[in-house]
């Protein structure tokens, strides 16, 4: 699988900056295409054990390659972003499950507290805000919270369907007119 167009738009410029940085360090001419191709394939092999980005995974290999080329190019922004890649993705998944289940931040804090990730008194001292408490949690904690939310939503999905079906039937019933008692006969 190859990278998405959005990923390519981030990946290719970083590779070009890494190539320029490599050439500056080694004194190579950056305009020699064969040297660039050889260097590029070697970097792919060193970083992920692949020969072409068509063999790459869009998440783990993308982060690995971006971290590798960011280190060569000296790009601190991408180095930090790829270091927190798993946490960023898990925070997104947690927020998505919260929206799906209609869950509040306090409910998720309760899950984290019950799992021992937060002190029983509330949010950890020094945490940013109540709403961003899971921004400081490591990936393994976030993964466990996400799994708990998925299970919660699966458990309660039947109840939500029953409630929505019941309220839908209720609306249909209220639209049906009751027959008039003194209505004239149709014949």
Buried residues in 125-141 as b, exposed as e (16+ CB within 10 A): eeeeeeeebbeebeeeb
Give the whole-angstrom CA distance, residue 134 versus residue 103. 15
Structural contact between residues 88 and 134, judged by C-beta atoms closer than 8 angstroms: no
For 40-75, write each residue's pLDDT tens digit.
Answer: 999 999 999 999 988 988 877 888 899 999 999 998
For 98-125, write each residue's pLDDT tens digit.
Answer: 999 999 988 998 999 999 888 776 555 5
Q: What is the pLDDT of residue 127?
A: 52
Taking the mean position of all CA atoms in its chain, how far away is CA 87? 8
Confidence of residue 158 (pLDDT cuts 50, 70, 90): low
Mean pLDDT of all residues in 84-93 = 87
Q: Tokens 């931040």, residue?
A: 105
Give the whole-angstrom CA distance, residue 164 versus residue 66. 45
Structural contact between residues 106 and 120, judged by C-beta atoms closer than 8 angstroms: no
- Contacts by 174-182 with C-beta closer than 8 Å and gap 24+? none
Give the whole-angstrom CA distance, residue 5 versus residue 17. 19
For 2-17, write each residue's pLDDT tens digit.
Answer: 788 999 999 999 999 9
Helix axes 139-175 and 85-101, enclosed angle (nearest 10) = 20
C-alpha dihedral, 37 to 42 to 45 to 46, nearest 10°: -140
Q: What is the pLDDT of residue 132?
A: 66
Model pTM? 0.59
- Show the beta-strand stretches assigned E in 77-148: none
Q: How many CB atoms lie within 10 A of CB 50?
A: 16
């Amino acid at each position: 699988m190859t990278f998405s167009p959005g990923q390519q738009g981030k990946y290719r410029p970083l590779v070009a900056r890494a190539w320029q940085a490599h050439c500056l360090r080694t004194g190579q001419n950056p305009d020699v295409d064969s040297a660039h191709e050889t260097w590029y394939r070697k970097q792919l092999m060193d970083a992920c054990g692949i020969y072409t980005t068509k063999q790459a995974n869009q998440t783990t290999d993308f982060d690995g390659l971006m971290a590798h080329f960011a280190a060569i190019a000296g790009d601190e922004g991408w180095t930090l972003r790829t270091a927190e890649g798993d946490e960023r993705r898990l925070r997104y998944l947690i927020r998505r499950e919260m929206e799906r289940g209609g869950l509040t931040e306090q409910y998720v804090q309760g899950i984290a507290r019950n799992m021992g990730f937060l002190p029983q008194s509330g949010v950890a001292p020094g945490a940013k805000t109540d709403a961003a408490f899971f921004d400081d949690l490591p990936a393994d904690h976030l993964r466990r919270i996400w799994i708990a939310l998925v299970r919660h939503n699966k458990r309660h999905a039947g109840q939500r369907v029953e409630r929505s079906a019941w309220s839908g039937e209720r609306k249909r019933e209220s639209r049906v007119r009751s027959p008039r008692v003194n209505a004239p006969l149709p014949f």
